[in-house]
Structure 1
Amino acid sequence: MAGSLAARVREAALLEGDFVLSSGQRSRFYVDKYLFSTEPGLLRDLARGLAAKLPDGTTKLAGVELGAVPLVAATALETGLPYVIVRKGTKDYGANAGRAIEGRLGPGEKVVLVEDVVTTGTQVLRAAEVLGGEGIEIAGIVAVLDRREERAPRLGPYPFEALLGLRDIVPENRD
């Protein structure tokens, strides 16, 4: 499945040019997450792949606004697990004023963060910190694409798995 999934992500979302990544690094390639997460058939298959990587005992999913929301919602539909959205900042109005988490969380939840593309992991690690601050156990992080130079089974202190690495999308990658 990874081969055909990689080809589909490549066809839908790989752009070539001169790009500045969220990390500040420059790259000749950019994988536009919105181009793969807004295609219903591809989104469904990505959600199936992400669901297969969830650790046993996962009770809830989480995604960072805005990019991970379609993926976490689709993975929730695939698994039947509820999810929360972690905002990049707190909001100052409504029922959740002063909070950065949208949705219900309870004690004893084992949460897996769903991410689109990991370059340095800054955004998803920040979300893990927000959830951890609420006393929530982070069971792991799953992503569609690991863009890091060296793929590793951990991202910060958390177990990490990705469906694809950059070399799956750009086999001749040299950045």
Structure 2
Amino acid sequence: MTGATDELISALTDADAVKFGEFELAHGGTSDYYVDKYLFETDPHCLDVIADGFADRLEGKLPAGVALGAVPLVAATSLKAQSPYIIVRKQAKEYGTANRIEGQFEAGQEVVVLEDIATTGTSALEAAKALRDAGAVVNRVLVVVDRQEGATERLAEADLELEALVTADALLEQ
């Protein structure tokens, strides 16, 4: 493990974001552990460590966060990287501009999707599709935690590379 991975695991642990027991997950499955994104996204130290990790991996590309979960992540990363950012809604809003994508980018611009936790990869995949449909070039998804339950393979089928700041294996061996 790298020092950055150890620092993130320590920050997640200190924020009490990793819970053990029996939990139902968003996709309907169950797990004997849960990573509480709201605890790590509302903890200033955790958010700082995550933003550093994401900013280091952007490679000059525009970050996009999936609403609602990744909005704090993409905002903090934007500040670290000194880059504008995009928010991708799960569906177009039904009022005002009726946008699904908030923020500005040019057609053909490279965008990296940021997400909190990858299990099946569904929300990241849907965000990447919406961005691609709007003209962005999307090849990568960065996540805080990869639960290693199929997201990597599912995203690869859509020509998306998944890169995690920490994997479930590394997180749980602490």
Classify the secondary structure of the residue corresponding to 1:78: helix
Q: How does 1:97-108 map to 2 (within 5 A)?
A: 97=98, 99-108=99-108
Cα deviation digits, residues 3-44 of structure 1 (max 9, x gap): 131122133201122111112111111000110111112101
2:68 equivalent to 1:66: yes
Q: Within 1, Cα distance between the matches of 2:18 and 2:36? A: 7
Which consecutive residues of structure 1, in runs of 5 or more, have no partner in the other structure?
Answer: none
TM-score calculated relative to the size of structure 1:
0.89
Give yes or no for contact 1:10–1:169 (8 Å, CA) kept in 2. no
Classify the secondary structure of the residue corresponding to 1:30: strand
1:150 CA displacement: 6.6
- Greater relative contact order: 1 or 2 (C-alpha under 8 angstroms, separation 6 or more)? 1
Aligned to 1:49: 53
Please point out which of 11, 14, 26 is paired with 1:11.
14
1:65 CA displacement: 0.5
Give yes or no for contact 1:112–1:138 (8 Å, CA) kept in 2. yes
- The one-letter code of the counterpart of 1:133 is D
TM-score calculated relative to the size of structure 2:
0.89
Cα deviation digits, residues 104-161 of structure 1 (max 9, x gap): 1222211000111000100010000001111110031111100024785883311221
Q: How many residues align?
A: 168
Aligned to 2:39: 35
- Identity rate, percent: 43
Cα deviation digits, residues 53-92 of structure 1 (max 9, x gap): 22x341x110111110000001100001111111111111
The range that moved more, 149-158 or 10-19, is 149-158
Runs of 4+ in 1 over 6 A off after TM superposition: none
Looking at secondary structure, tell me which structure has more helix per residue: 2
The range that moved more, 6-15 or 152-161, is 152-161
Give yes or no for contact 1:154–1:160 (8 Å, CA) kept in 2. no
Give yes or no for contact 2:120–2:150 (8 Å, CA) kept in 1. no
2:145 equivalent to 1:145: yes
What's the Cα RMSD here?
A: 1.9
The range that moved more, 127-136 or 5-14, is 5-14
Classify the secondary structure of the residue corresponding to 2:170: helix
